Amino acid sequence: MPAQKSNRGKGSPKKKTTSPQSVIPSADEAILQKSSPHSVIPSAEEALPPAPPPVPTVSPLSIEEINPLVKSAQYAVRGRLLDVAKSLEDKLASGETLPFTNIVRCNIGNPQALGQRPLTFVRQTLSLLLNPGLRDAPEIDISAIYPADVLERAASYAGAVPSVGAYSDSQGIRIVREHVAEFIGARDGCPASADDIFLTDGASAGVKALMTMLLRGPQDAVLCPIPQYPLYSATTTLLNATLAGYYLDESNAWGITEDALLQAVEQARAGGATPRALVVINPGNPTGQSLPKESVEMILRFAAKHKLVLMADEVYQENVYGDAPPFYSFKKALSALRECGAAGDAEAAEQAASTQLVSFHSTSKGFIGECGLRGGYFELQNVPLDVRAQLLKLMSINLCSNVVGQFATGLMVRPPVDGQPSFEKYTAEREAILQSLYSRAQRIAAELNTLPGFSCNAAEGAMYLFPSVALTTPMMEAAAAAGMAADEWYCIQLLEATGLVVVPGSGFGQKEGTFHFRTTFLPPEDAITEVLAKLKDFQAGFMQSWATQGDDELALVA
Ligand SMILES: Cc1ncc(COP(=O)(O)O)c(C=O)c1O
């Protein structure tokens, strides 16, 4: 058409070509991008071609030039303490004498790195999946090596994919998603659907995908516990969004109160951000609490009332110990709300229909402890189809989560049952791991509570203790002089004296003026005995030497 033709080349906006490959905008497109979405006719000034950017003098992959958000992101679980540990390990290897003979890594929940053995059923099945030669070789009597239920599972999983070496569907292998849905249904006593399940490389990949979907920039806030596992704060930083922390109540078993949640909402709003998601880690990391049913219900209703996507990190759901409140999933709470709604409670019905819930689980924790296999899933509730399609596209940019991890997830959620040949061994292995974790948790907490300046809540769940440590003003001054946070300074001294690697509380967030560290209770019993004895000596000597520094008044005893 002539009118359109005459517009070309005269600086008026051209219809943008939508090829997804086009990266460098044309001059016209650049003008369009610069102008406000409402302005149609560029001013004369805007119509001038923009000056080309100067040619950079440093490489793009230099520390000044890389994405500043990456530099700002913090992940203390693998922070400075590990560098010190590595240099101490090198010294030991070169024959230097230190106050200890080996480094004990209690900085990370990595059970098999600290001697936990993998479950036989899981590894037998995976070994068959990875080695089709073993399955197919006529000369091998495979039933003499593997129990029938292992053979059966390996055959059914192998039949679901062309090969474990082939990409799978981006959402995850159907049969595994069906097994996950059956597991959730049995756990919660309410239906679950394979269509709501996405299989992921550990829970981390799922969390990152969801946060990428949700957080558009600084105007969006995510409510996170303080202290919290730093995946959430680091991802919020990477996405240039706003973190609004809510404090866990240390004096009440690290519980969650509605007041604390409300304060975080108000703080985010006062700062100009809209809260869009609420992260809850239950059982907690680093704090180890298992939330009672009433708290879970309160949090769900809070999310409903404030229109927050509830991100339920439930990766420690199998790790609940002793008399602690049993694990109660957010999905179960949502189902209970649905039932109230169906029984005539109109508010419950509205909340149950509108509350968006994403629940995460992982093969890394529990008693399976397969961190390196990178398996996990998330389940969506009340998320519309068009958003799911976008999420699937986002996941498909990574093609698929690793297939061995997907099968490991299937094996986690569908263990052998009573009557099957692997059942007894599986049960014995599971009980031994969980029982041992519980007894190590109790033992370390009890011991820590005898130390001067220490106060430690029991671990109700997960794999961590998070004791508070009293630090005096001179200690804080010494830390500041060394250019470190006070708790990091303390943890480095602890490491240098005992070989124990822990993570300073500041890496997870903590109330101003309080100091903590996180330790796992994963090392084997004999390593724990040795470390506790060293810790006891260290702390006694440490407190005594600093008590003579003129200020023995404790900054805090929680
Ligand atoms: C609370 C919590 N969520 C998520 C993760 C991520 O674990 P993964 O990606 O191995 O499943 C961890 C790991 O320690 C964790 O503690």
Predicted model pTM = 0.87
Contact 318, 461 (CB under 8 A): no
| Amino acid identity, position 65 | E
Q: Is 522 in the pocket of ligand 1 (CB under 6 A)?
A: no
Angle at which helices 174-188 and 403-413 pack, to 10 degrees? Answer: 30
At 326, list the tokens: 């049993």
Is 511 within the bounds of a domain?
yes
Q: Is 319 left (phi over 0), alpha (psi -120 to 50) or beta?
A: beta
Q: Is the pLDDT of residue 326 over 60?
A: yes
- C-alpha span between 477 and 474 (Å, rounded): 5
* 439 and 495 both lie in a single domain: yes
Determine the residue of 75, 279, 285, 368 to mutate for testing ligand 1's pocket, defined as the one with the most ligand atoms within 8 A of the Cβ atom. 285
Give me the mean pLDDT over the 192-209 stretch.
98
**Per-residue model confidence (pLDDT) at position 77:** 65
- 462 Cβ inside 6 Å of ligand 1: no
Task: Verify that 99 and 22 share a domain, yes or no.
Answer: no
pLDDT at 523: 81
pLDDT tens digits, residue range 469-492? 999 888 999 999 999 899 999 999
In this structure, what DSSP letter does residue 413 have? Answer: H
363 and 450 co-located in one domain:
no
Kindly provide the residue ranges of all beta strands, DSSP E only, lying in 227-368, ordered along the sequence. 242-247, 274-281, 309-313, 357-362
Is the residue at 197 inside a domain?
A: yes
SS3 1: coil
Percentage of the chain beyond pLDDT 70 is: 89
Q: Beta strands 454-455 and 309-313: pairing type?
A: unpaired
d(CA 234, CA 211): 11
- Alpha carbon distance 332, 344 (integer Å): 19
DSSP 111: G
Q: Is 246 a pocket residue for ligand 1 (Cβ < 6 Å)?
A: no
pLDDT higher than threshold 60 for residue 9? no
CB of 369 shorter than 6 A to ligand 1: no
* 383-440 pLDDT, tens digit each: 999 999 999 999 999 999 999 999 999 999 999 999 999 999 999 999 999 999 999 8
Tokens 């992940």 belong to residue? 75
Hey, whose CA ends up nearest to atom 8 of ligand 1?
202
How many domains does the chain fold into? 3
What is the rounded CA–CA span in Å between residue 125 and residue 127? 5
Find the mean pLDDT for residues 163-186: 97
Give the pLDDT score at 10: 37
Look up the domain containing 42 and give its range.
1-53
Choice among 33-37, 287-291, 397-401 with the minimum mean pLDDT: 33-37
Q: Which residues pair with 237 in a beta bridge?
A: none
Interval 208-265: pLDDT, tens: 999 999 999 999 999 999 999 999 999 999 999 999 999 999 999 999 999 999 999 9
> Can you say whether the dihedral through the CA atoms of 203, 355, 241, 519 is positive or negative?
negative
> For residue 216, how many other CB atoms are within 10 A of its CB?
13
Q: Residue with structure tokens 């309410």?
A: 190
**284 CA: nearest ligand 1 atom:** 1
Is there a domain that residue 226 lies in? yes
More confident residue, 16 or 142: 142
DSSP 22: -
Verify that 389 and 284 share a domain, yes or no: yes
pLDDT at 310 over 90: yes
- Do 221 and 107 share a structural domain? no
Instruction: Please indicate, yes or no, whether residues 536 and 466 belong to a single structural domain of this protein.
Output: yes
CA separation for the pair 415, 552 (Å, rounded): 55
Whether 20 is covered by a domain: the verdict is yes
Which of 38, 53, 68 represents a domain boundary (last residue)? 53
Q: What is the CATH number of the domain that holds 275?
A: 3.40.640.10
Q: Is residue 363 part of a domain?
A: yes
Asked if residue 506 is part of any domain, the answer here is yes
Residue with tokens 């290897």: 93
The Å distance, Cα 142 to ligand 1 centre, comes to: 36
Instruction: Characterize the bridge pairing of strands 357-362 and 376-381.
Output: antiparallel
Mark whether 43 and 81 lie in a shared domain. Answer: no
The pLDDT tens digits of the residues spanning 166-177 come to: 999 999 999 999
Q: Are residues 370 and 482 in the same domain?
A: no
Q: Which protein residue's CA is at the shortest distance from atom 14 of ligand 1?
A: 109
With 0-12 CB in 10 A as exposed, 13-18 as middle and 19+ as buried, what is 44?
A: exposed
Are 5 and 82 found together in one domain?
A: no
Within 10 A of 35 (CB to CB), how many other CB atoms are there?
15
The CATH number that applies at residue 511 is: 3.90.1150.10
Cα–Cα dist 292/127, whole Å: 39
Name the nearest CA neighbour of 358 among 302, 279, 283.
279
Distance CA 411, CA 22 (A): 44
pLDDT over threshold 70, residue 37: no
Tell me, yes or no, whether 300 and 222 share the same domain.
yes
* 553: in domain: no
**Residue 539 backbone class (left: φ over 0; alpha: ψ -120 to 50; beta: rest):** alpha
Report the alpha-carbon distance of residue 196 to residue 384 in Å, rounded: 11
Do 452 and 352 have their domain in common? Answer: no
489-520 pLDDT tens trace: 999 999 999 999 999 999 899 989 899 999 98
Pocket probe mutation, ligand 1, options 75, 311, 315, 370, max atoms within 8 Å of Cβ: 315
Q: Domain for residue 133, yes or no?
A: no
**In a shared domain, residues 439 and 479:** yes
